[in-house]
Structure 1
Amino acid sequence: MSITEDGPYVVTGSIPLREQSIAVNETGESIEWQPTKTYPAKKKYALCRCGQSANKPYCDNSHADEGFEGLETASMKPYAEQAKVLDGPRFKLMDQEDLCALARFCDTHQTVWDEVEKTDDPEVAAIFLDQIKDCVSGRLVAIDTATGEPIEAPREQQISTTQDPAEQCSGPLYVEGGIRLISADGKEYERRSRMALCRCGASGNKPFCDGTHVKIGFSDKE
C-alpha cells in the first residue's frame, strides 16, 4: 500500500476491500465491528485520500481538481517509542494518543485507563482485552506483564472503509494484518496489526486518522 503525493492510496496485491460499521448497545456504547459490505475483488485499486471523490471509496482524481494538500506530518518513530505505558497487575496498557480515531470502544463499561489497574480480576481483564482488540487505530495495545509481549491476535490482511452510525458519519480506512505502508517519499512506516488511515482529507496527523471525520461530519454516502 503506497501513499501518493497529494493523491490517493494505491493498493496492490489483491488485498480484500470491505466495509465495517460500529455496532452499539442500548446505551449507545461501541461494542463491536459489524461487517456490512464486501467490494469487488481487484488486484490493484486507488482509494480516495482527499475526501472529495464522487466515487468513494475509490479515487476519481478530485484531489487534483480541489488542490488537495496531503502532506504527511505523522512521526515515523516506532510505536513503542511514542506510546505512554500504564502499569497494571496482569496487563500493561500502551497508549499513543495522537492515533485516536474516536471509535470509542475504550469507553465501553469502564474506560481501559481505569481497568488496567484491575486486570488481576479475570472478568475485568477479559473486558479490557476485548475493548483494546477493537481499537481501530492501534492507539491502544495490551502488554502481558509475565512475558512482556503484546497481546495481538492474528489478523488477515484486509482494508475496510468504516461507518459510525452513532455519530452519523463515515470513518477512516481500517487497515489490518500488518499491511506494508509506504510514504509518498518512499519510506516505510512501521508495520502494525491495526492502523486507521485518514480518508476525509482533514486529519492533522496524516496519513493517520485523528478523529477529524467526526468533527466535520464526513460521509462517503453523499
Structure 2
Amino acid sequence: MSEEVVQGREVTIRFDAGRCVHSRNCVLGRPDVFVPNVPGAWIHPDAASAEAVMHVALSCPSGAIRVAHTDGSATSDAPPVLNTVRVRENGPLAIEAELVIGGQRQATPRATLCRCGQSQNKPFCDGAHVAAGFTATGEPAAKEFAALEVRNGPVSVQPQPNGSLMVTGNLEIVSGTGRTVNKVTKTWLCRCGHSANKPYCDGSHKAAGFVAD
C-alpha cells in the first residue's frame, strides 16, 4: 500500500501503512482526526489544531504518521535532541534518532524494530509478535554506564546477516516505564527473539538457526 498524503489548511499528514504497528496512539489520542474502518476518507487534518496533530505524529513510535505545517514552520521529521530506544514489553524496539537503517537514511526519526524474529518486514516490526505470543520484559536490568558527551546525532542500525542489530551512535536505552537502563555509542541488540539477555544479543541466533538479511 502506497503512502497516503492528506493536505489540510494548516498541516499535511502522511501515513505509511507499511510501517504501522497499530500502537493506536493516533485513533485513541485524536479520534476526530484519525477515524479508521469507515468508508471514504479516514484522515481529517482540519479536525484539530496543528499543534494537536503534530503531537500525534511525535507520539507515533513507528514513524508511520508524519506531519508538516503547510507553511514550512515545523515538521515531525526533525531529529530529536535526545536519541532513545525504548524496550516495549512483549514487543518491538522503538527507536528515535536521526536514523540510517541498513545503509538507508530514513525520512522519519522514528521506527519500530522487530525483536521477536517473526516479522515479514525485517528489520521493522509488523506486529507479528502478537500472533507469535512473543514474551520479553520491557524492564531490563540497568547496567553501569557513563554519561554521553553528546546525546543526539546520527544513529546507524545495521542488521547483521542471520544475526543481531548492530547499532552505532549516541543512544540511551530506556525501559517501558521510562528508566534509562544503559547509555551506549555501540551495541548489538537481539532481533531473533531467543537471547537470554534481551534486549542485547548473546549469540543465541546461531543455535536457533535464525535467518534474515
Q: What TM-score does the superposition give when structure 2 sets the normalisation length? A: 0.52
For residues 213 and 39 of structure 1, do their structure 2 counterparts lie closer, same or farther at Cα, with a shift above 3 Å needed? farther
- Which residue of the partner structure matches residue 17 of structure 1? 100
- Which residue of the partner structure matches residue 154 of structure 2? 157
- For the 8 Å contact 1:174–1:194, the answer to whether it is kept is yes
1:2 paired with 2:91, answer no
Secondary structure in 2 matching 1:180:
strand
Task: Please list the CA deviations of residues 4-23 of structure 1 after superposition, one character each: whole Å capped at 9, or x if unmatched.
Answer: 1111111223x22333xxxx
1:183 paired with 2:175, answer yes
Structural RMSD (CA): 2.5
- Which residue of the partner structure matches residue 202 of structure 1? 194
Secondary structure in 1 matching 2:206:
helix
For residues 10 and 72 of structure 1, do their structure 2 counterparts lie closer, same or farther at Cα, with a shift above 3 Å needed? closer
Question: Aligned equivalents of 1:217 and 1:38: distance in 2?
Answer: 27
- For the 8 Å contact 1:73–1:207, the answer to whether it is kept is no
For residues 74 and 217 of structure 1, do their structure 2 counterparts lie closer, same or farther at Cα, with a shift above 3 Å needed? same
Secondary structure in 2 matching 1:181:
strand
Task: Please list the CA deviations of residues 133-187 of structure 1 after superposition, one character each: whole Å capped at 9, or x if unmatched.
Answer: xxxxxxxxxxxxxxxxxxxxxx9631323334xxxx2x21112222111112321
Aligned length: 125
- More RCO (CA 8 Å, sep 6+): 1
1:43 paired with 2:126, answer no
Question: Aligned equivalents of 1:176 and 1:44: distance in 2?
Answer: 16
State the 1:49 CA deviation. Answer: 1.0
1:220 paired with 2:212, answer yes
- Which residue of the partner structure matches residue 149 of structure 1? none
Question: Aligned equivalents of 2:185 and 2:200: distance in 1?
Answer: 14
- For the 8 Å contact 1:159–1:173, the answer to whether it is kept is no
The structure where helix makes up a greater share of residues is 1
- For the 8 Å contact 1:157–1:179, the answer to whether it is kept is no
Question: Aligned equivalents of 1:198 and 1:220: distance in 2?
Answer: 12
State the 1:79 CA deviation. Answer: 5.5
Secondary structure in 2 matching 1:11:
strand
- For the 8 Å contact 2:91–2:129, the answer to whether it is kept is yes
- For the 8 Å contact 2:90–2:138, the answer to whether it is kept is no
State the 1:39 CA deviation. Answer: 5.2
- For the 8 Å contact 2:166–2:186, the answer to whether it is kept is yes
- For the 8 Å contact 2:153–2:169, the answer to whether it is kept is yes
Question: Aligned equivalents of 2:139 and 2:179: distance in 1?
Answer: 13
Structure 2 gaps of 5+ residues are: 1-84, 147-151
